[in-house]
Structure 1
Amino acid sequence: MNKDSSFPENSEELSDLDSLRKLLRSHPSEDKIGRYEVVDFLGQGGMGKVYRAYDPELIRTVAIKVIDWRSNRNVQKKRLLKEAQATARLSHPNIVKLYEIGEDDQNCYLVMEYVEGCNLAQYLKKGIPSYSWTLNILYKISLAVHHSHKEGILHRDLKPANIMIVKDEPKVMDFGLAKVLSDETSASSKGKVVGTVQYMSPEQLRAKKLDERSDIFSLGILFYEMLCGQRPFQGKTTLEVATSIAEQVPIPLKDLDSSIPFDVEAICLKCLQKERQKRYQNANLLAKDIKRYQDFFPVHARKRTLSYVASKWFIRNFSLIRTAAAISIAFILVLVNCYIYFKLQEKEAFLVSKEKFPVVKKELFESYQPDTGKNQEYIGFAIADLWESFSLHEGFGRMEKRIESLKNLFPDSSILHQEAGKIFLLQWIRHKDSSYRTKALENLEKSLACKPWDSETAFCVYQIYFFSQDWQKQEIYSNLLIKENPGYSLYFKAQDAYRQIRLMDKAAIRQKDYDEALAYCQSCLEKLPSFAAAYGLMASIFVMMDAYDQALSYCQKALALKQEKAYSYRFPKYKEIIKKDISFMNLYCLDFFILEGKIYEKTNQYDKALAAYNKVLSSFPSYSYALINRAEIYYKQGELSFAIEDCSKAIEEKYQIARGYSLRGNSYLGLKKYEKAIEDYTSLIQLLPEKSEFYLLRSGVYQEMKQYSKAIADLEQALKLDPKNQKIQFLKTVLYKMSLENTHK
């Protein structure tokens, strides 16, 4: 229904602007189908030609399928009407919508939703997609097909060319071969084989009466092709392909790619059973089995042996059966791991708050009376007092003097030097003053020189050298950590695998890439069972896989471990007070609250995502990444003033600048504050002049302001950067015509 387009991801903003609608409003066409103005030809469908057109009454772009009258008109018309009657009953987010059926003197036609994207056949030409992507796409297609089956409709021609991919969301189209299950007769002649042979079921080839299970077989062929890049039934001629479908058993997927999981292979091959009763009996059961695999439950496609069920239970409950804590990572690790995650994700440095921290509750040390015989307890209270002063944002110069005085009193205290190192590190992250980094390293390395050896401190020092690109010292500390516990070696390998995945194009990522990173994490946790960072890394990997339930589970496990660590060095009589200090927990678990917020945001649970980001911002009021994430949610909820406020704060901090300008510009646009939007889009262009989509955004605003020459100039620049983008060329042509008409008025 559409040809491939490279229109930028920011097309939502153009939609918000109603640019296309208003550009086309005064763009009459000589070619019309009914009231619709033909814009261009999209392709040849199974029943006729497909066009993109403009509806001047409803001011929207549509796709029109026009029947091919080369054969008997009445029969063709009957088939087209049958298609319309079937499709019109379908309302599902993963099915292309039918708006209208029409007829004029020349044509009988269908008016359908216009979908911007490429079809699955075009997508697969780029390479074999990841297992995660394939499973998510097939899951949604299965639900769409099940919906059509519930309405009594078979598709009968499921194939990659009939599935559009729009921002990683499938849309099933072309029910031109649909058959109403309740009908006794068909628009096709009895016994006629209709469909695409390569994706037909055995019973469809034999022109037998079909049911839902025929579409299941077609989905199996589709699934097989997505997993390994070739169809399960081969042949040089149509007859050879048909014979293969009817008689041959497909090559096992693991023979073609040994990394394909057994469960995934079993689900696919169950769809491809020759006997209908051995397949999934409906598409909903197929979708449920995919979901079971994603959630680490035994799938129904495999024989449920005791060992198989037990292995699934073990994976699903991995966090509950692990042994007791061996090594824990303290507050410093939160900050540094947070830095890793956001550096990779945004390619912009992160900066934590310049505002004050929440106050540490004074009840912690109200009952304390100095006692030189209780040095350990005195150090504990001194550390708490330092953190309270830091949270109150007292002059840092005075704090440094107090730290030095305490270190003079207790020169061999590992915990005191460790906590002092944390405070200096936080100042470094806040202000990017290298002198604080130097003092952080001095204190942390002094802590390591004191007995006993502390792995968490060594890990933090390793991370600082890593981000400072001091590879020699980084290697020294990585070797020390590995010598202390081989689990760290596995964690470093998991980090490397994770970074490599993030650098890959999504279409090039294979399930084995994810599996490798996850396996390193799991092996690490066997040796470091209380290593919160490893749980957090697993959660991040599952986010990349779009497996949000698993991601949330591991993220919450990391949070629990962090909170447990926060209480661990407190004296028993003060632990309950600390546990009630929510602001302290928000500070301590910063990185995992951010991750939790992203997971909730990905699953459209905006209230929960806001709650997570608010926890972070209550401790780091100017933390740019959390501000921008919260602004995005406000924008989606239509709270544009709040979005602008958060973006402005983030931009002031000089981090997340590109996201800040883009989102703030979009928000100003939504409020019709065009001059403000122009300012932000201009700043964005100055920051990233190679991005064509930013010129498109600014062009749309100029068009709203009727400054056509500037709008056209921006489109011309966008075309220079993206010369193959037909959408930009189309907009430029129409806008040029509008400018001429405006001149003649």
Structure 2
Amino acid sequence: MNEIQVNKKVYARLDLIGKGGSSRVFRVITYANELFALKKVALDKTDSETMAGYMNEIALLKRLEGNSRIIRLIDSEVKPGPGGNKGHLYLVMECGEIDLARLISERGTEGLDMVWVAYYWQQMLQAVQVIHDEKIVHSDLKPGNFVLVRGQLKLIDFGIANAIANDTTNIQRDHQIGTLNYMSPEAIELPDGMRRLKVGRSSDVWSLGCILYQMIYGSTPFSQLTIYQKMKAIPDPNFEIPYPEYSVPVIPASKSSQSEPKRLEHLRKKVRSDVIANMQSCLNRNPKDRMTIPELLQEDWLAMKERRDKRVLHGPITQVWYPAGPERPHLPE
């Protein structure tokens, strides 16, 4: 069993749990039988921009220390290599048992369970609210960025998160960021050809809306499109996002047997109208018309209360109250 020292503390390496670019993430254990995740970054293979991202991540995790919805940084150290080699950066963090991407995947062939959705959606909102309160935009929210630590959902991976300049709502970005299936229109759009990108708190709300959509329907709003089609459709107000009245689990097509996807119609469940209204608000092409996280946290369906409908009518949120039932007044889209 390999041992790794960080600031003279010894960690025994158990297994590789993730890798990407110049970094590897190992599950490690101390002599006191404490489990941690250890990220090892090869600095020789890291350009200055990526290195700045790691330093940014360390600074943000230290700043957010003590928040129960944010992954905890235990220790960090830069170790120079032999003979002028740049060496490695080591980050020791809390170890998650499973990420939200795998949780969603494992529930993929089960019927919609709104108690399960509400439980994790609320914890996601709380985590992102923590960073927004600290004037930080994450910019790369996706299910893989949320992990369960002792049963509680926590936000991880701050490589491209950035502090919001001068306490304004937006920060400027010089290039594309984030993960396309969850990327907001304003992160893709370049109205004047080379204009820099405005990414604010509401961009994270769009990404959260994509995750909620995936939890409800089993796939993200633009998952069926090619990369080029996604780049065109996400900012396009004329491309309508479907919000089916029913959620139907699907068994994906098998690549080996070339079978077609199979819809499990016997597990179809009606989606609450207020949940659909929340998704529509999060996925509004106009960032100013999206609900805020504090507003989303006040929604009745999180506590499984009697439903009420909310629709965004080209501006402020309009609430329409009525008892649940088959006869429902028509609401303008």
* Range class of TM-score, shorter chain: 0.7 to 0.9
Task: Say if 1:267 and 1:290, in contact at 8 Å, map to a contact too.
Answer: no
Distance 1:298 1:222, change over 3 A: same
Task: Name the structure 1 match of 2:323.
Answer: 311
Distance 1:122 1:46, change over 3 A: farther
Task: Say if 1:62 and 1:111, in contact at 8 Å, map to a contact too.
Answer: yes
Name the SS of the counterpart of 1:177 in structure 2: coil
Q: 1:133 and 2:116 equivalent?
A: yes
Task: Say if 1:289 and 1:301, in contact at 8 Å, map to a contact too.
Answer: no
Write out per-residue CA displacement over residues 588-620 of structure 1, whole angstroms, 9 at most, x where no aligned residue: xxxxxxxxxxxxxxxxxxxxxxxxxxxxxxxxx
Inter-partner Cα distance in structure 1 for 2:240 and 2:44? 39
Write out per-residue CA displacement over residues 142-175 of structure 1, whole angstroms, 9 at most, x where no aligned residue: 0110011101211111111111235653222112
Distance 1:70 1:228, change over 3 A: farther
Task: Name the structure 2 match of 1:246.
Answer: 235
Task: Say if 1:139 and 1:290, in contact at 8 Å, map to a contact too.
Answer: no
Inter-partner Cα distance in structure 1 for 2:77 and 2:42? 14
Name the SS of the counterpart of 2:219 in structure 1: coil
Q: Indicate which of 300, 308, 329 corresponds to 1:298.
A: 308
Inter-partner Cα distance in structure 2 for 1:298 and 1:47? 49
Task: Name the structure 2 match of 1:174.
Answer: 157
Write out per-residue CA displacement over residues 301-335 of structure 1, whole angstroms, 9 at most, x where no aligned residue: 468989x52427xxxxxxxxxxxxxxxxxxxxxxx
Distance 1:112 1:262, change over 3 A: same
Distance 1:66 1:299, change over 3 A: farther
Task: Name the structure 2 match of 1:78.
Answer: 52
What runs of 5+ residues in structure 1 fail to find an aligned partner? 1-27, 313-745
Distance 1:274 1:77, change over 3 A: same
Task: Name the structure 1 match of 2:260.
Answer: none
Task: Name the structure 1 match of 2:186.
Answer: 203
Q: 1:217 and 2:206 equivalent?
A: yes
Task: Name the structure 1 match of 2:69.
Answer: 94
Task: Name the structure 2 match of 1:61.
Answer: 35
Distance 1:197 1:47, change over 3 A: farther
Task: Name the structure 2 match of 1:723.
Answer: none
Task: Say if 1:199 and 1:221, in contact at 8 Å, map to a contact too.
Answer: yes
Aligned CA-pair RMSD = 3.0
Name the SS of the counterpart of 1:50 in structure 2: strand
Q: How many residues align?
A: 278
Name the SS of the counterpart of 2:35 in structure 1: strand
After superposition, where does 1:708-727 map in structure 2 within 5 Å? none
Write out per-residue CA displacement over residues 639-673 of structure 1, whole angstroms, 9 at most, x where no aligned residue: xxxxxxxxxxxxxxxxxxxxxxxxxxxxxxxxxxx
Distance 1:183 1:48, change over 3 A: farther
Name the SS of the counterpart of 1:142 in structure 2: helix
Task: Name the structure 2 match of 1:118.
Answer: 98
Task: Say if 2:71 and 2:154, in contact at 8 Å, map to a contact too.
Answer: yes
Alpha-carbon offset, residue 269 of structure 1: 1.4
Q: Indicate which of 287, 291, 298 corresponds to 2:297.
A: 287
Q: Please tell me the residue identity of whatever aligns with 2:57.
A: E
Task: Say if 1:292 and 1:299, in contact at 8 Å, map to a contact too.
Answer: no
Query: What TM-score results when the alignment is normalised by the length of structure 1?
Result: 0.35
Write out per-residue CA displacement over residues 683-732 of structure 1, whole angstroms, 9 at most, x where no aligned residue: xxxxxxxxxxxxxxxxxxxxxxxxxxxxxxxxxxxxxxxxxxxxxxxxxx
Name the SS of the counterpart of 1:141 in structure 2: helix
Name the SS of the counterpart of 1:171 in structure 2: strand
Inter-partner Cα distance in structure 2 for 1:130 and 1:167? 22
Task: Say if 1:119 and 1:164, in contact at 8 Å, map to a contact too.
Answer: yes
What runs of 5+ residues in structure 2 fail to find an aligned partner? 81-86, 190-195, 249-268, 325-333
After superposition, where does 1:77-476 map in structure 2 within 5 Å? 77-90=51-64, 91-105=66-80, 106-115=87-96, 117-128=97-108, 129-166=112-149, 169-182=152-165, 191-206=174-189, 208-247=197-236, 248-254=239-245, 259-280=270-291, 282-289=292-299, 294-296=304-306, 298=308, 300-301=310-311, 308-311=320-323
Q: Please tell me the residue identity of whatever aligns with 2:122.
A: Y
Task: Say if 1:39 and 1:53, in contact at 8 Å, map to a contact too.
Answer: yes
Distance 1:243 1:68, change over 3 A: farther
Name the SS of the counterpart of 2:107 in structure 1: coil
Distance 1:30 1:289, change over 3 A: closer
Q: Please tell me the residue identity of whatever aligns with 1:244.
A: A
Alpha-carbon offset, residue 120 of structure 1: 1.5
Alpha-carbon offset, residue 255 of structure 1: 5.9
Identity of aligned residues (%): 24
Inter-partner Cα distance in structure 2 for 1:309 and 1:137? 26
Q: Please tell me the residue identity of whatever aligns with 1:229.
A: G
Distance 1:260 1:108, change over 3 A: same
Query: What TM-score results when the alignment is normalised by the length of structure 2?
Result: 0.73
Inter-partner Cα distance in structure 1 for 2:217 and 2:2? 45
